[in-house]
Chains A and B, each alone.
Chain A
C-alpha cells in the first residue's frame, strides 16, 4: 500500500512570504496527488491536484510540482495571506485502481503572521 510522508509538520511564515510543503510517496505507480486545506473546525477541501502526466500545475497563488523520479510532490503558496492559515494535507491513492481511496499525509499547520 501507499505510504505518504509530509514535511514540515508546522510552518510559520510572514504575510507576503512563500510557503512550501513537501510530500513523498512510496508507490511509483501512483498517478494522482491532491492537496486539501482544512481550516480550524472545518472540513477538508480540495485546493489543487496534479496527475502524473504533468510536472507542475498553478492556480493563482498556489502551485503544485511533481517529481516522479524522486517520488515527491510539493505545494507552493506565494504571497501568503492570513486566510492561508490552516492545516494542509497531501494525499495519494492507496492503490492505483482506487483514486478515491486516499492515503493522507499527517498534515502541515501553516500560520501566517501579519
Chain B
C-alpha cells in the first residue's frame, strides 16, 4: 500500500478563497482523522470518521471548516472562506480499529502545507 495520500502538498491562497484538501486513507482502514499542526498550538485533532461517518467534530475551529467522507477511500477538508490564521500543516491519518485487528497506530499522510495570504 502507498500509505495515506494527501493533496495538494502545498497550497498558497489569498484570504477569502476556498481551500479544499484531499485525503486517501490506507485501504481497509476504518478510521480517518484530520489533524492541524501549528507552532503555537501543536497537533490538534479537528475531526474524525469511523466507517465514513463523522464521529466527533468538536475540534473544528468554526463553521468555515467542513469535512466529508463520501466513501471509504476519500475524504476532504474544506475551508471557506480562508483566513491567514488558518495557515498550518493539515495532516490526514488513518487507522484500523484494534477490535478489528489493528494496533491503534495512526498512519499519517505527508501533510498539506497551507499558506493564506
| Chain A residues with a Cβ under 8 A of chain B | 32, 34, 36, 42-46, 49, 89, 94, 98-107
Contact of A43 among B31, B104, B109 (CB under 8 A): B109
Contact residues in B for A42 (Cβ distance below 8 Å): 110
- Please determine whether A44 and B91 come into contact, CB atoms closer than 8 angstroms: yes
CA of A111 to CA of B42, assembled, Å:
19
Chain B positions 89 through 111: 1 when the CB is less than 8 Å from some CB of chain A, otherwise 0: 00100010010000111101111
Contact B98 A99 (CB under 8 A): yes
Contacts of A100 in B (CB 8 A): 31, 33, 48, 95, 104, 106
Bound CA–CA A44/B54 (angstroms)? 23
Indicate if B45 sits at the interface (CB-CB under 8 A): yes
The reply to whether A102 and B110 contact each other, CB–CB distance below 8 Å, is: no
B interface with A by C-beta (< 8 Å): 31, 33, 42-43, 45, 48, 55-56, 91, 95, 98, 103-106, 108-111
Which residue from chain B places its CB closest to the CB of A42 in the assembled complex?
A: B110
A17, B45: Cα distance in complex, Å: 34
Q: Is the CB of B43 within 8 A of A94?
A: no
Smallest CB separation, A7 vs chain B (Å): 14
Query: Is the pair A43, B48 in contact by a Cβ cutoff of 8 Å?
Result: no
Contact of A107 among B31, B42, B98, B104 (CB under 8 A): B42
